[in-house]
A and B are shown apart, each in its own frame.
Chain A
Amino acid sequence: MNRGIIESRDVCSMVLAEVVRIWWESQEGDTVVIKTPWKSSIQEVKKWCEETGNIVESVQSERGTYSITVKFRAPRS
């Protein structure tokens, strides 16, 4: 199982673009951790996962940075 990390202050769309790129090359069970200062990203990533069949494994907050761990479940359609 691979574990990627995206650390970015950029808007959610740019972060999701990176998540999608990692997803395209991932295997089932791989994870990516998104570290972002944007609180709204939590909701956006959760909704992205609902739509794409992936899951948010955990959400943590530490000193203004949110760490969202996504586990890739579904193959890219």
Chain B
Amino acid sequence: MKKVTVLLASNSLESLYHCLVISMDAKALGWEAKVFVTSNAVVLFTKRRKGRAGTSMGWLATIYIKLRLRRIGVSSTTKMLEEAMKLGVKFYVDEVGLRIAGMGPEDLMEGVDLSGGVSFLKEAAESDVVVTL
């Protein structure tokens, strides 16, 4: 079975959207898909955020882009994250990033696990495709 590993290090809507598209498409193809989340992206996978993200272009651009996405019929990143989990995409969050954000493992969404650099390197080394966002 082919495998894709995604390293998500940005909490922007753009990065999360591409991360979800790539990992969901991989699962649709029957591949294994693992996403390692680090840096400020960790907050997106907490119970409070559940994949809710803003763009890197500021709040006004975020409102406009979200409105456009809704108008053309594209799902929110929250809904896409739900679907990705249903398809079997595995998400791993860096514990250090989580602690820096003032949160702990109990704040993570159900189905999201903790991980570190060694796990990412091992998975990446065994993957057919590695994507960094």
Contact = CB atoms under 8 A, between A and B. Distances in A.
Contact of A10 (B27, B29, B73): B73
Contacts of B72: 9
Interface string A48-77: 100110000000000000000000000011
Contacts, number: 46
A5 interface: no
Interface string A1-36: 000000011111110110110000000000000000
Q: What's the dominant secondary structure at chain A's contact region?
A: helix
Nearest to A13: B24
A77 B30 contact: yes
Given A13-B80, A14-B80, A14-B83, A20 B75 contact: no
A17 B33 CA distance: 14
Contact of B87 (A10, A11, A17, A76): A17
B86 interface: yes
Contacts of A44: 25
Interface in B47-86: 72-75, 79-80, 83, 86
Interface of A: 8-14, 16-17, 19-20, 37, 44, 48, 51-52, 76-77
Interface of B: 20-21, 24-25, 27-30, 72-75, 79-80, 83, 86-87
